[in-house]
Amino acid sequence: MSKFLRPVKQKLKNAQHFSLIEAFVTVLQEAAFTGTKIEQLIASLITCFTEENRCYMQARASEIIKRRDEADKLRDKYYTKLHALVRLWLNSGNTELEAASEELIKVFKLYKVNTQAQIDEQTGQLDNLIDDLSTPEMLARIETIGGTWLFDQMSDANAEVKAIRLEQGVEVSEKVAGALEKARKATDEAYDNVVAMIEALSLTADDPTAYEAFIIRWNGTLKIYQDMLDRKSASGGSATTDGQSQNNQGNQNNQNTTNTTTDPETPGGDSSTGTGTETGGEEPGGEEPGGEEPGGDPSTGSGTEPGGDNPPSDPTDPETPGDGDDNDGGGGNTAPDGLDKD
């Protein structure tokens, strides 16, 4: 009897986990298994996966975050230009311009705005700077050096970021702590239930051919994830599959891989056997935020990686759920995007 490999799904980043389950749902739908129990389990998996995707998308790629980031980039640009303009006139030789710049630079030095700081931290810095520069005396000095338009644009963009953050707060407040982590765990449990049922049917069905073929087919996709985990854990020699030792997995690799790649960054991968081989050394799920997601046909077991539309990325590197991350993680949610500065 063929058996599914048990991937260490907790080590997958959010985008990688999404791609793995999405591919599994796809091949299940193509297989079109019938029977009350198996159909119920597949429906439960799809429901759990839909909720996981909702939590992931809420944390990573809403339109509100895109708008916030655009406004943030604008305020960074105008702050940088205004600061540069003030410094430009410090040693210009023009008494009036130098005098105005000397007073203005004192305020800039006082707050030391960091455009790479976390969103709300930078907002606080700019609020203080703008307040101090908004006195009649300072506004007159800004006008003297020709910086009024830049100051107005910076102020408007900062106000826009603050307004969007308030709007975003409504969205973020809808998420409970650990929402993505809980959703991922529910998906994993539903996945395991489906896997167990298919294995049971491969033993008890009058004609187990379809179930045996499905197991072999899916293991071919899982192998890509497992190879990544094996390389990541090779130095420690720890087990990388549930109930399987590193040594056993190494034997499976010798039997099933026809090509190995140099060690790229590991995604947190998954266990697998089959005939699949890696292509190009790319890892399932790509970067988190913004990396490429697995492509290809998940149903073949030929080593191509799961396809389908992939969730947007962040940025920002999705960490694994359970380690207190989300936005992007296996084992625990990463911090909402609203708290990160890209």
pLDDT digits (tens, 9 = 90+) for 54-82: 888 776 656 678 888 899 999 999 999 99
- Per-domain residue ranges for the chain? 9-41+182-339, 63-173
Q: Per-residue pLDDT tens for 196-209?
A: 999 999 999 999 99
> At 316, is the secondary structure helix, strand, or coil?
strand
> What does the pLDDT read at residue 6?
83
> What does the pLDDT read at residue 100?
96
CB 126 within 8 A of CB 154: yes
- Tell me the average pLDDT across 161-189: 76
> What does the pLDDT read at residue 224?
84
> What does the pLDDT read at residue 276?
39
Most confident of 68-77, 166-175, 297-306: 68-77
- Tell me the average pLDDT across 117-141: 93
CB 290 within 8 A of CB 21: no
Residue 256: other Cβ atoms inside 10 A? 20
Residue that is written with structure tokens 């040693």 in the block:
91
Q: Per-residue pLDDT tens for 212-252?
A: 999 999 999 898 888 877 777 775 544 444 444 334 444 44
If 0-12 CB within 10 Å is exposed, 13-18 middle and 19+ buried, where does residue 246 land? Answer: middle
Question: For all residues of the chain together, what is the average pLDDT?
Answer: 73
Q: Please tell me the pTM assigned to this model.
A: 0.44
Of residues 180 and 279, the one with the higher pLDDT is: 180
